[in-house]
């Protein structure tokens, strides 16, 4: 079967896709927590800044963001390698959408628990770390799982800035062989396999969290 000869190149592209996706999710998760907590616990200035970031990256096209960072930003003297650009833009995307997940989960913790914390003379930071966050994280995980899979699928856009990811390599093979059916069938299967693995990992983390294995304090709050 001629399809077998495509696998080594597609596998290399899949590795690049996985690396970019995982790096973007990791960095984006940090941004999501910073912005989400700032929205809830920050002062007016910090909360407004976090809101501006969130709305800017949620309200504009990811593809245009990618082109702006890759083609426009160097015009003012700031440039990144293609892979770094792809990771950065995807991370900002994850952070913007993830911050709303964090904000909503933090807001879902009952007022009574905050009142109890104040009655016990707990400070805001202590309440956030030991009471609010452990419970909110469990509520965030399903939504973060969906966001992670969405990020994997959106990572195909980085092929447009010459990153040799799975989509880029599939298109290159297709241009050489004109075998659209074979190449794109394998590409679809590749994305599906990576999505399945990512989904299983996120569900495992969620299961551990709900059992109190991953976040023991959440089970006793």
Q: 12 pLDDT exceeds 70?
A: yes
- Determine contact, residues 24/176, Cβ cutoff 8 Å: no
What is the structure's pLDDT at 124? Answer: 66
What is the structure's pLDDT at 206? Answer: 83
- Determine contact, residues 37/95, Cβ cutoff 8 Å: no
Distance CA 128, CA 64 (A): 36
Q: 170 pLDDT exceeds 70?
A: yes
- The percent of residues in the chain predicted with pLDDT above 90, rounded, is 54
Domain count, the chain: 1
User: pTM of the predicted model, to two decimals?
Assistant: 0.87
Give the list of residues 6+ apart from residue 56 with CB closer than 8 angstroms, or none: 96
Q: 22 pLDDT exceeds 80?
A: yes
Residue found by looking up tokens 């989960």 in the block: 105
CATH label of the domain that carries residue 169: 1.10.3720.10
If one compares 44 and 55, the residue with the highest pLDDT of the two is 55
Instruction: Identify the domain containing residue 55 by its residue range.
Output: 2-220
Q: Which segment, 63-67, 123-127, 180-184, is predicted with the most confidence on average?
A: 63-67
What is the structure's pLDDT at 40? Answer: 84
Q: 1 pLDDT exceeds 90?
A: no
pLDDT bracket for residue 218 (50, 70, 90): very low
What is the structure's pLDDT at 6? Answer: 84
Q: 79 pLDDT exceeds 90?
A: no
Q: Indicate the average pLDDT of the chain.
A: 86
Structure tokens at 87: 């990771």
Distance CA 181, CA 177 (A): 11
Query: What is the tens place of the pLDDT at every residue in 24-42?
Result: 999 999 999 999 989 888 7
Q: 219 pLDDT exceeds 70?
A: no
Query: What is the tens place of the pLDDT at every residue in 86-134?
Result: 999 999 999 999 999 998 888 777 666 666 666 666 666 666 676 777 7
- Determine contact, residues 151/17, Cβ cutoff 8 Å: no
């Amino acid at each position: 079967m001629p399809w077998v000869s495509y696998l080594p190149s597609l596998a290399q592209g899949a590795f690049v896709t996985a690396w970019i996706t995982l790096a973007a999710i990791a960095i984006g998760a940090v941004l999501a927590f910073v912005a989400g907590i700032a929205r809830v616990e920050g002062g007016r200035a910090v909360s407004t800044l976090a809101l501006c970031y969130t709305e800017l990256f949620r309200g504009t096209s990811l593809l245009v963001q990618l082109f702006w960072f890759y083609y426009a930003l160097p015009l003012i003297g700031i440039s990144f390698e293609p892979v770094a650009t792809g990771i950065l833009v995807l991370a900002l995307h994850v952070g913007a959408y993830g911050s709303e997940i964090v904000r909503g989960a933090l807001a879902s913790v009952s007022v009574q628990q905050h009142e109890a914390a104040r009655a016990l003379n707990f400070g805001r930071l202590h309440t956030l770390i030991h009471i609010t966050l452990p419970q909110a994280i469990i509520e965030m995980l399903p939504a973060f799982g969906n966001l992670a899979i969405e990020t994997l699928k959106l990572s195909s856009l980085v092929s447009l800035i010459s990153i040799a990811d799975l989509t880029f390599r599939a298109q290159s093979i297709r241009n050489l062989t004109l075998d659209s059916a074979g190449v794109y069938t394998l590409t679809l299967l590749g994305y599906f396999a990576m999505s399945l693995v990512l989904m299983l990992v996120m569900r495992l983390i969620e299961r551990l969290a709900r059992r109190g294995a991953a976040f023991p304090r959440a089970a006793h709050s």
